[in-house]
Chain A
Amino acid sequence: MENFFARYKNPLVLMLVLFIQVIALATQVKRPEGAKAGNTGSGTRLIRVWTITAFTPVEKMFVSTGHFFRDGWHNYADLRGVRRKNRELQDEVARLQMEQVRLKQDADQARRLQALLDFKEKFISKTVAAQVIGTSGTEQSRVIIIDKGAHDGIKQDMAVITPDGIVGKVKDVFPLSSQVLLINDHDSGAGVILEHSRLQGIIRGTSLGELQITDIMSDEQIEAGDHVITSGGDRIYPKGFSVGTVVSATPDRDNDPFLAIKIKPSADLRRLEEVLVVTKTVEEISPVAGGSAPMRAADILAQRLPSIPKQDANAAKTSGGTSLGSTPTGTTPTGTMPTGAPKASPLPTPAKPNQPSNGAVEQKPAGTGASAKQPAAAGGTATPTAPMKADPAASKPASSGQTTGQSTVPSGANGAATATPTPAKPKKPKAPSATPTEPTAPKASNQPASEPPGATPTPTPERP
């Protein structure tokens, strides 16, 4: 027996080893009942745990070492081009920033132009959009230069506006550019209406670049925040455009009975980029386009009220603004601002019963200066469409001979120019010399002889 084992030791050991492993294998394979079907019996689990636990640190060490070298190589490879990449990215960032700024400017400009377009379609019949290309560069004169000139149809004294409000008027026209005198320049002025109180006045610029109304009596109740719009009487700015809002109203120490009303302009006059030059207003073209002017409330009222019988045509022609019984004002002190030309433009001036039509601005009458200052033109709606000079001869009858040398004459004309005119509001005398009550106004309408021969009155005055 001993010899047997000695002789077959190796095969016996082999069989034993194989038997043990087969038993172990069978234990793992045939153990699933009770244990999970994973066939890893509890007897072999310890072997797995021990081996794996023993070699996991080694594995981690190798893996970490491998990661160290691999990451180190990758980092080195990545860092090789980092500086160049960084430069490229910085250039890209700079380029994108510039592009972003450009796109933002384009977008802002598009919004502004869209607003201009909307505004133009809404209010203005014919305008020319212009780009602001320069300024006067001094505080003494507030002038901007636009890129549209005579070749684009720009003419002197055309109104320049933005959707926010009026900007100024064209001062000088060159072939390819124009100079615009801003509304806050001390040489500027415009006829305005306080929207809430319906008071008329003239807004002027100051040497500090502020806007001020100085021709409203101090007994008026002016509230801060009141909106100021153009009156249209200056024949430059169309009626109804926003001018600004009242900031404060204090007694004017230099001009005692009047208020110094500071106005904040609606348009940001310091940041103008695109503007519209009003080359033709709706009122100017409507008779041409539509043929007959629409009947206005004042006209209807004038027709219904008792009035003086119509005079004959000749008398009407010669009498200028007195043609119709309802339109006696005749002397509309609506001189143009800068030129001082006291011509009465053919444009109808807006006339509301309490809103005098002619807020002439800066009008310096060529003649005696007595022309424009009539505070109470009767029949406030009636501004003769005929171009009539506001020379002394024309204005005297209506203005009762008051020569103040000032320009505008807001008149609180009420209703039609009947034989019983109600005196105009005494609130808005432009000049101290203007008497608040104007008893002579009705007479003016009945004195056609005062019209100078050169005047060509039209028998059918348009009323705004």
Chain B
Amino acid sequence: MHSSVSLTSREEIEVHRFSWPVSIGIPVAAIFLQVFLRIRFLTVLDLPLLVTIFFAVARRRPVPGMITGALIGSLQDAWTGHPIGLFGIAKTIVGYLGSSLGVKVDVDNPGSRFLMTFAFVLIHRFVYMAISLQLVGGSEAWIWGHTLLSAFVNGLAAVVLFALLDKLKLRN
């Protein structure tokens, strides 16, 4: 049991595990869909971020969560031509926060999943912009409308996607 205050029940803080194919295949598929399938809607939807959040929250362990986020982000950087580390740092932070949050909050509820995803999208976007502007020297502008829309859409998508990915959890 955690010594700190937790808002989750005993069952809710259960650490879920995933098979190796799922642990590798789902992030790769998410990056693949995000990068190579040129669906206009996917420019708003951030599937790698959703997968990062899901695995981080489900595992409820910060180190694997941040590592997962770092790998997914770096892979996304490699594919998308960004400087490697740009998405990596952002998703590392999100993975760490997600896994940390999953220990304290009930993240299996659709509402909480929506709000959690909504917040993580904003954080991811904020970190990304900060790194891009401060470290890489990028010139992207923060657009609130687009950012909030993206957060909203990703929150809704997370509710559906997480419900599907729950079926891939390994049960004892």
Contacts and interface: CB of A to CB of B under 8 A. Distances in A.
Interface residues of A, number: 25
A28 B92 contact: no
A28 B84 contact: yes
Nearest to B65: A10
Given A25-B131, A25-B135, A62-B36, A13 B84 contact: no
B88 interface: yes
B104 to A, nearest CB: 13
A47 B37 CA distance: 22
Contact of A24 (B32, B37, B62, B85): B85
- What are the 6 A-B residue pairs with the smallest beta carbon separation, nearest first? A25-B85, A21-B85, A10-B62, A51-B78, A28-B83, A21-B88
Interface in B51-85: 62-63, 66-67, 70, 74-75, 78-79, 83-85
Contact of A17 (B66, B83, B131): B66
Interface of B: 28, 32, 36-37, 62-63, 66-67, 70, 74-75, 78-79, 83-86, 88-89, 92-93, 96, 100, 131, 135-137
Nearest to A19: B89
A51 B79 contact: yes
A85 interface: no
Contact of B96 (A14, A26, A40): A14
A133 interface: no
A10 B75 CA distance: 22
Nearest to A12: B63
Interface residue SS majority, chain A: helix
Contacts of B83: 25, 28-29, 39-40, 44
B22 to A, nearest CB: 17
A55 interface: yes
A70 interface: no
A62 B74 contact: no
B84 A44 contact: yes
A18 interface: yes
12 contacts: A9-B63, A10-B96, A14-B93, A17-B67, A17-B70, A21-B85, A25-B84, A28-B83, A39-B136, A44-B83, A52-B79, A63-B36
A52 B83 CA distance: 15
Given A59-B32, A62-B36, A17 B79 contact: no
B78 A52 contact: yes
Interface in A91-124: none
A111 B79 CA distance: 72
Given A25-B135, A55-B79, A59-B32, 16 more contacts: A13-B63, A14-B62, A14-B93, A17-B66, A18-B89, A18-B92, A21-B70, A21-B74, A25-B84, A25-B85, A28-B84, A29-B135, A58-B32, A62-B32, A62-B37, A63-B36
B25 to A, nearest CB: 11
A256 B96 CA distance: 130
A196 interface: no
A208 interface: no
A321 to B, nearest CB: 106
A91 to B, nearest CB: 42
B93 to A, nearest CB: 7
Contacts of B78: 44, 47-48, 51-52
Contacts of B136: 25, 29, 39
B23 to A, nearest CB: 17
Contacts of B62: 10, 13-14
A313 B150 CA distance: 126
A293 interface: no
A342 B66 CA distance: 130
